[in-house]
Structure 1
Amino acid sequence: MRDKKEEGVKPEKKVIGRREHISLPELDLQDLEAKIDTGAYTSAIHCSDIHTETMPDGTQVICVDLLDPSHPKYNHRKLRFAEYDLREIKSSFGEVQQRYIIRTTIELFNEVFEAEFSLSDRSDMKYPVLIGRKLLKGRYIVDISRKDLSRKYKSKQKQKQNNP
């Protein structure tokens, strides 16, 4: 039997709700609530104390405090990223900001893949993670009337494994 990719047929897109729970395995963050935002191009994650440091070997790194102490998933880890980009991103208020962009893995619907996230202070926002169009494209269709479909999918997959 042939794989859909081999036949030139695109794999079917999964339906995603307006809010989903995601994990960021490389950042040691599990079950974070994320807002799905088709108006945003780039995905974003809440960080505080975002600054650059020069390492002893002269390498520039960005340092962040992922989330902040008031968030229930805060893990007290200060992270450093040697690989990053600096881009102009238009905020939800329409102003252009310089933001650091990192690549990390995201887990959604039991799939783990790499994605880009801008690092920004989202302390005034309800959700610490925003999932934008670039991550959604080719993978998901958004149904704004639904939420937590990835969590429900994960539960069904576990039930299937436990009751073959």
Structure 2
Amino acid sequence: MSTTNALLYCAVNGIANNTNGIGRQTKTLLATLARRHHHLSARAGAFTPYLAVPEPGPATWGYNEDDLRYARHVVEGLNGQVITLPYDTRRPFWQPDTWRQLSGEAARAAGHLADRHDKVLAIGVDTPFAGLAHHAGAHPSVEVLLALF
């Protein structure tokens, strides 16, 4: 197990697209990680950044391979990764059943990260991750912050 902590940032926008304010917020986080991760780690303790995103592809609003490539470049350069969350892309995205599925998948990803890290902070930044705390709450090494935009 690593002796570091993990940050799991769960977002719909800004990882494989950039179409709204959450996308801008996510891009700002990525730029900050790229430029200041070592300073943040010195102040807050070592951490590895991870991104969780609904499985990107044709169903993704404004899908852009360059956005996804940039996100991967930033987090992989810091020993993290982009974690794609499976969901039924044939169903409407903006409905509660899809959100439950994505919250559960993000919680599962946080649990897997907790197997490799001392602690995991999972941050949900959009409505599809509003159920993250419900799903991840049982894992003692996972803390959840909902910062819904």
Greater RCO (Cα-Cα under 8 Å, separation 6 or more): 1
TM exceeding 0.5: no
For normalisation by structure 2, the TM-score amounts to: 0.29
Higher normalized strand content (fraction of residues): 1
Higher normalized helix content (fraction of residues): 2
For normalisation by structure 1, the TM-score amounts to: 0.28
Radius of gyration: which is bigger?
1
